[in-house]
Amino acid sequence: MEHFDIKSDKAAGFINQQEIIRILSYAKEHCLEKNLALEILKKAEQMQGLSAEETAVLLLNQDEQLTDQIFTLATKIKNAYYGNRVVLFAPLYLSNYCVNGCTYCPYHASNHNIPRLKMSQEQIKAEVIALQDMGHKRLALEAGEHPLYNPLSYILESIETIYSIHHQSGSIRRVNVNIAATTVENYKLLQAAKIGTYILFQETYNQKQYEKLHPHGPKANYAYHTEAMDRAMSAGIEDVGLGVLFGLHNYAYELVALLLHAKHLETKFGAGPHTISVPRLRPADGINVQNFPDALPDDLFLKIVALLRIAVPYTGIIMSTRETETIRKKSLKLGVSQISGGSKTSVGGYTANDEQTEESAQFETADNRSLDEIVGWLMQLGYIPSFCTACYGKGRQGIDFMKICKEQQIHNFCAPNALLTLEEYLQNYASSKTRYIGSMLFNAETSKLPEVQKKILFSRIKDAKNGSVKFF
């Protein structure tokens, strides 16, 4: 039997079942000790993170006053590390052909109920232009796993197509990729194709449950899936994104394992995950959420978002349109730093609205507002919507990014950069109502900048308007 070792190359070593059970029983035993909880909170106030064990104690303590304190601290940490900027992106579904058997996903191979679609490069071009017309600059590519229909060569060709499209005033500047676990050789090819973040959700960290939910197909191999980020990082991909599909297994188990995974990557590669996504199970074709007994209620979900912000302050937290406007609003305050907007989870959904396309969707979204509405909403809440990809463009990735972020410096880069890209959005894509809200926010935010930064910002906006430099 494998022993717990955070540096281990083996899933059974760094996501060690005995260690997770030990942490959870320690937390259960001690969570009611008020002094211990307050001591942990005090440590968290230093904004350097918490261990999985400390986080589990706070999670299992259900005292309402403590939860309020956790939420207040999470907001404080969010502001210190990220300020009021929120990064925006959209998913792009390339193909829903899949050989796997994931029982919670309608793309599983034995579902003959949904149309199977795969976009040609021409269709991808049209979709990307539609996304660019909305104002998007950052995409997350999504595809089922199918060696014949969606081989890596197809993904690579699609990335090349996307980066090559220069439409009107700009282009897609960062392509993140969410595709199945693959080999070191393939990760090297993805790295060479200049992807942004490689995202792979663990779904569940509990091996037994994982194997039950993934009865066949390549994804059935728990260790291969769990060790994917090690392969990706050893292949040179600096930014990786973790995530659990909440609702598949016990939330406390998942949070502890997720934090061990983050710690493992940080210890082994010097940089923890660039992002953590917090997807929750959604209704989909043939998928009834009621049949999953571990469905996560809103209050606990929000507490998990806040605890992630406290436990890994320098890691971005991503929330998709799986969540409602209300939950997204609350989560932004507690720690979420990136959200998607105007999303379609169908293959070809940005250009076609026929029945076939709609039926190819992966799951039902809960926030169906347009990107313009979301940008306007964010600004009314006092956030700076950001389309910035400067860190990626300037090679501030992996360890370099983490170093700046841990020193709480990223904020200094981000505020002017976010405003620059917001101005780009307002001028080129926004409705008149959103532009009006934006001009007020822009003025208020620029007045907060130090004089030097303000000068640079205005001269860059002028240059961008003259076409002499790009926004990024």
| Residue 86 contacts residue 339 (beta carbons within 8 Å) | yes
Binding mask 203-232 for ligand SAM (x = CB under 6 A): x---------------x-------------
Binding mask 401-440 for ligand SAM (x = CB under 6 A): ----------------------------------------
**Cα–Cα nearest to 20, from 42, 45, 2, 33:** 2
Residue 93, token pair as written in the block: 């579904």
Measured from the CB of residue 142, what is the shortest distance to ligand SAM in angstroms? 4
Paired with 221 in beta bridges are none
Distance in Å, CB of 418 to ligand SAM, minimum: 27
- Point out which span in 19-27, 280-288, 334-342, 412-420 binds ligand SAM (CB under 6 A): 280-288
- Give, in degrees to the nearest 5, the angle at Cα 81 between 77 and 84: 90
Helices and strands (H, E) in the chain, number of each type: 21, 9
C-beta of 252 vs 284, nearer to ligand SAM? 284
What token pair was written down for 468?
């002499």
End-to-end C-alpha distance for the chain, whole angstroms: 51
The pattern of x and - marking residues 237 through 276 that bind ligand SAM according to CB under 6 A reads --------x-------------------------------
Question: 240, 278, 284, 310: which one contacts ligand SAM (CB under 6 A)?
Answer: 284
Answer for the pair 366, 282: CB distance below 8 angstroms, yes or no: yes
Angle at 305 between CA 302 and CA 308, to 5 degrees: 150
Q: Is 287 in the site for ligand SAM (CB under 6 A)?
A: yes
The site map against ligand SAM for 97-116 (x = CB under 6 A) is -------xx-----------
- Residue 206 sits at φ, ψ, to 5 deg, of -80, 115
Q: Which of 231, 249, 322, 328 binds ligand SAM (CB under 6 A)?
A: 322
The Cα 292–Cα 290 span in angstroms is 5
The position carrying tokens 């980020």 is 229
Which is nearer to ligand SAM, 213 or 378 (by Cβ)?
A: 213
Give the nearer residue to ligand SAM in terms of CB position, either 142 or 230. Answer: 142
179 near ligand SAM (CB under 6 A): yes
Q: Which is nearer to ligand SAM, 211 or 463 (CB)?
A: 211
Q: How many chain residues interact with ligand SAM (CB under 6 A)?
A: 21
Cβ–Cβ under 8 Å, residues 339 and 373: no
124 binds ligand SAM, rule: CB under 6 A: no
Decide: residue 363, CB within 10 A, 0-12 exposed, 13-18 middle, 19+ buried.
buried
Region from 3-11, 138-146, 308-316, 372-380 binding ligand SAM, contact rule CB under 6 A: 138-146
* Angle between the N-to-C axes of helices 34-44 and 64-82, in degrees from 0 to 180, rounded to the nearest 10: 10
Residue 228 in tokens:
């994917």
316 is an interface residue for ligand SAM by CB under 6 A: no
Residues of this chain that bind ligand SAM (CB under 6 A) = 104-105, 142, 144-145, 178-180, 200-201, 203, 219, 245, 279, 281-282, 284, 287, 322, 362-363
